[in-house]
Amino acid sequence: MSALANHAFAKMNGIGNEIVVVDLRDAPGAVTAADARAVASQLPYDQLMVLQPPRLAGTEAFVRIYNNDGSEAGACGNGMRCVVQRLFEATGGRAVTFETAAGLLNCWPGPSPELYTVDMGVPKFGWQDIPLAEEFRDTRYIELQIGPIDAPVLHSPSVVSMGNPHAIFWVDDVEAHDLARFGPLLENHPIFPERANITLAHIIDRDHITIRTWERGAGLTRACGSAACATAVAAARLKRANRIVRIMLPGGELSIEWRERDDHVLMTGPASFEYEGRFDPALFASVA
């Protein structure tokens, strides 16, 4: 039987990102891709955040992150804020470090109640680190387009890794393109061997950017924290935005700082609790 059967969960929300948090630190067990898909079939979510016992001294937990198609993600900024909110509410803590597949993430309360900051680490720009299927020496723009070669609908994205691969297409209006149509094509383009998060971004001014994202393994989403971080970094690399910006997403707003002294990306935003429940064991009866 699945480790999730009859286990408690918390349904959370990170500016429109639908998050489910499960704490398995006291009852460790393996969670499979099939388990994650079974949960999504009854409890729609963008990411499932599973806390496992810590593997490294000084960390609170090892967090495995599942997309709703059962695939695993290396990072989820909105999900991490939800985990932090849940933990701080229970313990009164003021700082915590988690381990994820993307590395260590330090988290702390934000500048006002209900705001939380996650240090998302250092972005990666090398084509092998993102990764891409072929060499591009300058990843501020790469050769990739959708539509006719002489009149592409989308073209020349910036690419960056924030623990997961991101492609950012610069547009005049993020609502003017059918992201639900183009997103799956671009997510699964051969240039991205591990697939990619696809973002449309409009730079309003040097302090404000609007985005919409098709999230790898989750689809069209109201919010993607790592995409907001990737967009902020990509815009700063192009010298089209400052290193501290406000990112407007369909579900809300995030503050992103690409810290100059160490190149770490800090994401600050809200997280909210919706309800608690327990997984029905019948949900996993057919899971092999």
- Cis peptide leading into 250, omega within 30 of 0? no
Beta-carbon count within 10 A of 260 CB: 10
- Which pair of tokens denotes residue 270? 């809200």
Tokens of 282: 């019948």
The backbone region for 223, taken as left when phi is positive above 0, alpha when psi lies in -120 to 50, beta otherwise, is beta
Give the integer Cα–Cα distance in Å for 272 and 99. 22
The owner of tokens 């997309």 is 67
Pull the structure tokens for residue 206. 């040097």
Catalytic residue among 76, 82, 107, 229, which? 76
Q: Determine the Cα–Cα distance for residues 260 and 243; give it in Å rounded to an integer.
A: 8
Write the single-letter amino acid at 207: D
Spatial separation of the C-alpha atoms in residues 139 and 129, rounded to whole Å: 11
Residues 82, 107, 224, 229: which is the catalytic one? Answer: 224
Beta bridge partner(s), residue 10 = 21, 276
- Distances in Å between the alpha carbon of 116 and those of 25, 34, 61, 250, 270? 22, 31, 18, 19, 6
User: In b/e form, how buried is each residue of 92-103, taking b as 16+ CB within 10 angstroms?
Assistant: eeeebbbbbebe
Give the tokens for residue 275. Answer: 């309800």
| DSSP letter, residue 281 | G
Tell me if residue 82 is catalytic: no
Query: Is 224 labeled as catalytic in the residue annotation?
Result: yes
Number of other CB atoms surrounding residue 137 within 10 Å: 7
Residues designated catalytic: 76, 224
